[in-house]
Amino acid sequence: MAFFNYFGISVSALTAERLRLDVIANNLANIETTRVNEEGEPVPYRRKSVVFAERLEQAMYGPQGRGVKVAAIVEDDAPSRMVYQPDHPDANEQGYVAYPNVNVVNEMIDMVGAVRAYEANIQALEASKQIVRHALEIGR
**Burial group, residue 34, by CB count within 10 angstroms (0-12, 13-18, 19+):** buried
**DSSP tag of 14:** H
**DSSP tag of 90:** T
Rounded CA separation 34/98 (Å): 7
Q: Which helix (H) or strand (E) holds 75?
A: strand 65-75
Backbone CA torsion sign across 75, 78, 83, 88: positive
pLDDT by residue, tens only, the chain of 140 residues: 566 677 778 888 899 999 999 999 999 999 998 876 777 667 888 999 999 998 876 555 445 567 888 999 999 999 989 999 999 888 888 999 999 999 999 999 999 999 999 999 999 889 888 888 888 888 77
